[in-house]
Structure 1
């Protein structure tokens, strides 16, 4: 049972601020690190249930600057593929126990770091040719699935969007739209699966100011904090928390 005590807020408030900074200032799929942190202290389903409304709030706060600046054809493909990906996530969640979810969240966290490291080293590069529409649908399925089970849909979406050679603003606006829509889609099955409770609702109300604070800080940190430093700290955090979740899941 979720206990809304001082210990919970001591962990949850900084995690939510981090999510806001990550999405608001660095356009980062690494905002899902907040869910990974909470999953260390809560049942995975509770951690995901606490974070989803807060991520939706951050999405809404980030939407105005990018309104209608996205590339709709590419965003539409990823959204259309994302919906069946969410359905796959629902099917898995219905049969998975808490330890399997810990393994999945931890594994995705570490895989995310590996993917980013490989990109930074040039081992993974955007396709020289624009990927076809079917690849966008497939990337959408992976995006929807990983987003459902850990709020970590960024890499699969990025692989497709980067191949389309979008400019920085269209790329960022497209990700804001895609994950804004998919988070709304996820809300319904999360509710039916019992991942929202009165306790998570109270937690959301209490943590909402921290989400908005993080978004505000992120916008300002964008020009003040070196991107390399921010992501370096993020990757260390994901490695430690993801490794701990895998350890707990195997134990």
Structure 2
């Protein structure tokens, strides 16, 4: 039983709070650590199923904080459509895709981009970059809840203002996470215990979002970009450690 394991609760609370901070204060790039942490005590599919309801709560709260900063929803239409394509692909292949290979590729991309600033203008000029990173985010988000790094790579290349970035990311992931309810249900990812545990962790999810919102107010635009690159690096290393 999850409820009887103190280590599980420690890792779950830390992972959930850090994910909330990441979503509302650090552009989501560090949210990838939650599943690797939980996977130390439960399986990856269980960890992903546990986190999904909490991610939905975080998305809704983050949107309420940043919706005013979104100047045009058209700017995220393409990446959102691409993300849904990625969700559909990963959902249809859930259980058969080699998640280790996917993790390795994503980890290499995260680390490379975090350490090589010159990649930003190159990625900005890639034909179909929104489709590329949006689709990859949909795939990695469905399988690992690791959609933050690909979208961070895309948004860094677009040089968005801090709050606009956070608002667009919140909308993008809200749409993806709600759509992920379909493949998770079809693949029987849910159990009564996991859902109950998710409900019990909701206060920590809201606490994380609140902390993240306060943190971003103290960070300048330049420092925000530096921290996003740092979060990409941490995400990439976390993915490698989980392999």
Which moves more between the two structures, 182-191 or 107-116? 107-116
Gaps of 5+ in 2: none
Matched, 1:206 2:175: no
Match of 1:114 in 2: 111
Q: How does 1:42-191 map to 2 (within 5 A)?
A: 42-67=42-67, 69-70=69-70, 71-96=72-97, 100-101=98-99, 103-104=100-101, 106-107=103-104, 110-111=107-108, 113-118=110-115, 121-127=116-122, 134-191=128-185
| CA distance in structure 2 between the aligned counterparts of 1:172 and 1:16, rounded to whole angstroms | 18
Q: Provide Cα deviations, 1:89-129, integer angstroms capped at 9, x if missing partner.
A: 12332325xxx44x2575366336414433xx424123486
TM-score, with length taken from structure 1:
0.80
Matched, 1:11 2:5: no
| CA distance in structure 2 between the aligned counterparts of 1:19 and 1:115, rounded to whole angstroms | 22
Deviation, structure 1 residue 4: 2.5
Match of 1:249 in 2: none
| CA distance in structure 2 between the aligned counterparts of 1:72 and 1:185, rounded to whole angstroms | 18
| CA distance in structure 1 between the aligned counterparts of 2:103 and 2:150, rounded to whole angstroms | 17
Change (3 A) 1:136 1:110: closer
Q: Secondary structure at the match of 2:132?
A: helix
Aligned residues: 237
Q: Provide Cα deviations, 1:160-211, integer angstroms capped at 9, x if missing partner.
A: 4444454333322211111111111111111211112111111111111111
Deviation, structure 1 residue 33: 1.0
| CA distance in structure 2 between the aligned counterparts of 1:128 and 1:28, rounded to whole angstroms | 19
Does the 8 A contact of 2:123 with 2:154 survive in 1? no
Does the 8 A contact of 2:111 with 2:233 survive in 1? no
| CA distance in structure 2 between the aligned counterparts of 1:140 and 1:230, rounded to whole angstroms | 18
TM-score, with length taken from structure 2:
0.83
Q: Provide Cα deviations, 1:55-79, integer angstroms capped at 9, x if missing partner.
A: 1111111111222533322311011
How large is the Cα RMSD of the aligned pairs? 2.9
Matched, 1:26 2:26: yes
Does the 8 A contact of 1:67 with 1:173 survive in 2? yes
Deviation, structure 1 residue 10: 1.6
Which moves more between the two structures, 134-143 or 199-208? 134-143
Which moves more between the two structures, 44-53 or 84-93? 84-93
Change (3 A) 1:67 1:160: same
Does the 8 A contact of 1:108 with 1:152 survive in 2? no
